[in-house]
Amino acid sequence: MRKLANLVSELKPSPIREMLKIVAELKRNKIDVIQLSTGQPSLPVDKEVLDELIKVFLNDPIKVSSYTPTGGIRELHEAIVADLKIFGKIDVNLNEVVVTEGATEGLLLTALALFEKGDEVVMMDPSYVSYPHVTLIAGAKPIYVCEKVEEGYQPNLERIKEKITEKTKAIILATPDNPTGRVIREEIAKGLIDLSIDHDFWLIIDEAYKHLIYEGEHYWFWRYANARERTICVNTFSKDPAMTGFRLGYIYGPSEVISAIEKIKQYTTLCSNTPAQIAAIKYLQPEVKKRILEYTLRIYKARRDALYNAVKEKLPEVKTIKPEGAMYMFVNMENVLRKLNMDDYQFMIELVKNKHVAVIYGGAFGPESKNHIRLTFVGENEERLRKGVELIREFIDERK
Amino acid sequence: MRKLANLVSELKPSPIREMLKIVAELKRNKIDVIQLSTGQPSLPVDKEVLDELIKVFLNDPIKVSSYTPTGGIRELHEAIVADLKIFGKIDVNLNEVVVTEGATEGLLLTALALFEKGDEVVMMDPSYVSYPHVTLIAGAKPIYVCEKVEEGYQPNLERIKEKITEKTKAIILATPDNPTGRVIREEIAKGLIDLSIDHDFWLIIDEAYKHLIYEGEHYWFWRYANARERTICVNTFSKDPAMTGFRLGYIYGPSEVISAIEKIKQYTTLCSNTPAQIAAIKYLQPEVKKRILEYTLRIYKARRDALYNAVKEKLPEVKTIKPEGAMYMFVNMENVLRKLNMDDYQFMIELVKNKHVAVIYGGAFGPESKNHIRLTFVGENEERLRKGVELIREFIDERK
């Protein structure tokens, strides 16, 4: 019978993409929107990287227009392996790396390679929006474990333990985190590794923001020998090099998982975009990357501080943490929403319509995360970030 | 328990990708390989298209590095709609189009949107390798219907009817076809539409090669009003504009299917590569596209003729058809393989090892298509195509 698959109604449209449409509509009407909603860096791709790409376009048009091997160009694999050695002090083999269309395809491929009907996948509430959806696409069931502002949005090992069953196939989480900006603490990461060994499940670590850390350090799971055989790390070139529109990322993990992922990728996207792979090779040259990271971190840290200070000053009734990494601040709005008699979704819609400030409602990141909003701090300069918070204040006061 | 999903063992590695690896290995050893195996055009992306792209890289680096809407840039949708009007004389609405990472993601998304456990999907034997695999990823079952060289590899309506059951969710096929190069005849296309109405299933038409036709005409299913609500057409920019490495394509179909596909795409690749979309907009300018098509068709037709004539002359014992479209010739090698006491896979492996001619074994395209090989005629010039066939002759004679 001619109908859509049930999967279609199980999936929710991404709130970030939904907001992009609203913003695009406002912009079409020449309205200036303060964007605290997308994960889109406002910095362009580095000029040295673009120049390299243009050179290849001019000198070798056949190269840029040809398929690459499904798992990616060999020199890119070599550059990724060298990069992980320099920045993570970890040894990864060439057959433990596969190139993907951003972390989005990375998460999908990991899910298809590991999950199936009957499996349960433990994820934090809040979590990045892709995790429950790729779990559903693979036929498995998302199991949420609440993270709390009072605990600095750190994963709570006790609450996680309560949700582990014989069906638990994996735990998936991001560090630094989207949407909370928290960086996982070492003892909690080690606790997760121990759990995964005791109960024999996979750990899937979303490292999209591993280079965007303003205080503290990234916890590299692969530094721990007993974690390697069970840990898959999903990465992207969308964030620190801002190559968002190039749609490129990579996964490193145990070789049998990587080769399964490569097999599946033949039927999801065949291979990744060739120019993007050429650009990534350039970005991964140590001196290029160090220069770009230094510049980017300086700007993003100042923006993080500006947003955090503005929220502390202008919105004293909300609860949040100072994000140590990533691009986001997750704000518990319970006190505000109760007074306004609104839910988080309504708040988001009314705010963008009335004050032209775009945020994302918390409920999009997990059922217990309603009553929050997510603010992005990398997409606007410091002045506009402060202006955005002032407009949120105005909006609340006018509604009271 | 920590193991891979069963899906992984259900999928077979793509033979084309497997051959790419063998060829890459030979090339690393400085061996010249005549490539009759990939669907990679040997023409570069057009200079006017690349120049446009370079201009945007230089003038608007933020634009090229930003996400686009999930379904694609609006101007690209507009260009696709205009293009379908010019070349297909069909009216497609903007909400009936979605942009994808090549036809590969197009086929995956279509499968995820329509198929699920319990469904049967009818496909031809031979079929492009993605069809059974995306069917399996979506949890459904591929059902093969044999096409025969004696029937010009046209779909046989009687044999198709025998395979239709209450579980039939769709028929999927390509025209012009990969791997046979046949262009579907109008009365057979109409027969398929009638069947799809009588039994209420979807028609999925892979139009990757719709502009690469050397004799006859493409059958546009969407010209028939009663076919529209049930026909999804999957397209790519990899073939006629040779933008293979850019990984871009599009689907047009009923709006409810397109919006389901757009929803799923948020969790497969989020959005397509931005520079590729900019290049595609340029390619779709009517005068640019007409100029490129004219040039490309002239070269490919001469190559098709060269390969066909060489096979007729040098391999009189094989059976095949003169491909009216696409990039491939599908050759029934029954007589040869019987004498050599080899199967098609062995033939492929021994041929590339001994004579450095890369072909694809027929069994990769369907269980009944063993005893065939697929030859690509666009990847080498006429002289090398003839040389390739001569080497196949030599190989056969030396083995007899």
Compute CA distances B76 → B68, B108, B351, whole Å.
Answer: 11, 21, 43
Subunit contact A67:B13, Cβ cutoff 8 A: no
For residue A40, pLDDT over 90 is answered with no
Q: Tens of pLDDT along A182-222?
A: 999 999 999 999 999 999 999 999 999 999 999 999 999 99
**CATH 3.40.640.10 in chain A, residues?**
67-285
- B269–A269: do the CB atoms touch at under 8 Å? yes
The per-residue pLDDT for range A318-330, each reduced to its tens digit, is: 999 999 999 999 9
3 state SS of A206: strand
Scan residues 229-288 of B and list those with Cβ closer than 8 Å to A: 230, 242-247, 256-257, 260, 263-264, 266-276
Q: In B, which residues are within 8 Å of A112 by CB distance? A: 5, 7, 137
Please check the confidence at residue B400 and state whether its pLDDT lies above 80. no
Mutation choice for B interface testing from A63, A65, A107, A378 by most B CBs within 10 A: A65
CATH architecture entry for B6-45+289-399: Alpha-Beta Complex (3.90)
Q: Do A70 and B17 touch (CB under 8 A)?
A: yes
Which of B121, B125, B119, B172 shows the shortest CA–CA distance to B151? B125
- Interchain pair B246, A274: CB under 8 A: yes
A165 backbone dihedrals φ, ψ, rounded to 5°: -130, -175
Residue A242's pLDDT is what? 92
Inter-chain CB proximity B138 and A271 less than 8 Å: no
Quick check: B201 and A2 CB within 8 A? yes
Categorize the per-residue pLDDT at A14 as very low, low, confident or very high, splitting at 50, 70 and 90: confident
Question: Is the pLDDT assigned to residue B239 strictly greater than 90?
Answer: yes
Structure tokens at A141: 């069931």
pLDDT tens-digit series, residues A115-167: 999 999 999 999 999 999 999 999 999 999 999 999 999 999 999 999 999 99
Tell whether A113 lies on the interface with B, counting CB pairs under 8 A. yes
Give the chain A residue whose CA is nearest to the CA of B5: A114
B333: pLDDT confidence band, cut at 50, 70 and 90? very high
Cβ-Cβ contacts under 8 Å, B270 against chain A: 17, 102, 104, 247
B203-232 tens-digit pLDDT: 999 999 999 999 999 999 999 989 999 999
Above 90 in pLDDT, residue B24? no
Which of the residue ranges A59-63, A100-104, B185-189 would you say has the lowest mean pLDDT?
Answer: A59-63
Chain B nearest-CA distance from A274, in A, is 5
pLDDT tens digits along B153-163: 999 999 999 99
Nearest to B292 by CA among B127, B46, B79: B46
Structure confidence at residue A1 (pLDDT): 64
The Cα–Cα gap between B90 and B236 comes to 18
Domain with CATH 3.90.1150.10 in chain A: 7-45+289-399
Contact A4 B260 (CB under 8 A): yes
Tens of pLDDT, residue by residue over A265-311, are 999 999 999 999 999 999 999 999 999 999 999 999 999 999 999 99
Q: List, in order, residues 6 or more apart from A15 with CB less than 8 Å away.
A: A129, A348, A360, A361, A364
Which residue matches tokens 């920590």? B2
Q: Give the pLDDT band of residue B6 (cuts 50, 70, 90).
A: very high
Contact assignment for B47 to A67 by CB distance below 8 Å: no
Per CB-CB distance under 8 Å, the chain B contacts of A109 are none
Considering only the top CATH level, what class is A7-45+289-399? alpha beta
Residue to substitute from A73, A273, A277, interface B, most B β-carbons within 10 A: A273
pLDDT band at A38 (very low <50, low <70, confident <90, very high): confident
Report chain B residues whose CB lies below 8 A from the CB of A69. Answer: 17, 20-21, 24
**Residue ranges of chain B assigned to CATH 3.90.1150.10:** 6-45+289-399
B59 touches chain A (CB under 8 A): no
With a cut of 90, say whether residue B261 has pLDDT above it. Answer: yes
Chosen from B6, B8, B127 to mutate, greatest number of chain A CBs within 10 A? B8
Asked if the C-beta of A380 comes within 8 angstroms of chain B's C-beta atoms, the answer is no
pLDDT digits over B194-203, tens only? 999 999 999 9
Task: Output the pLDDT for position A371.
Answer: 95
Reply yes or no on whether the pLDDT at A249 is more than 90.
yes
Extract the tokens encoding B126: 């031979």
B67 touches A at CB < 8 Å:
yes
User: Average pLDDT of B336-359?
Assistant: 96
Q: Which CATH class is domain A67-285?
A: alpha beta
- Split at pLDDT 50, 70, 90, the class of B141 is very high
Q: Please say if the pLDDT value at position B182 is more than 70.
A: yes
CB of B122 closer than 8 Å to CB of B141? no
Examine the pLDDT at A39 and tell me if it is beyond 80. no
Q: Is the pLDDT of residue A17 over 80?
A: no
Contact B245 A54 (CB under 8 A): no
- Reply yes or no on whether the pLDDT at A313 is more than 80: yes
Q: Say whether pLDDT at B1 is over 70.
A: no
CB contact under 8 A, B201 and A1: yes
Provide φ and ψ at B62, rounded to 5°.
-70, -40
Chain A contact for B169 (CB, 8 A cutoff)? yes
Is the Cβ of B77 closer than 8 Å to some Cβ of chain A? no
**In the structure, what pLDDT confidence band is assigned to residue B150 with cuts at 50, 70 and 90?**
very high
Cβ-nearest to A69 among B20, B107, B266:
B20
Interface mutation target, options A270, A278, A283, A296, chain B, most CBs of B under 10 Å? A270
Query: What's the token pair of residue B194?
Result: 């009638």
Q: Between B51 and A13, name the one with better pLDDT.
A: B51
- Closest partner CB to A105 (pick from B40, B260, B268): B268
What is the average pLDDT value for chain B, to the nearest integer?
96
pLDDT of residue B147: 98
Closest Cβ–Cβ partner in A24, A139, A275 for B275? A275
Percent residues over pLDDT 90 in chain A: 91
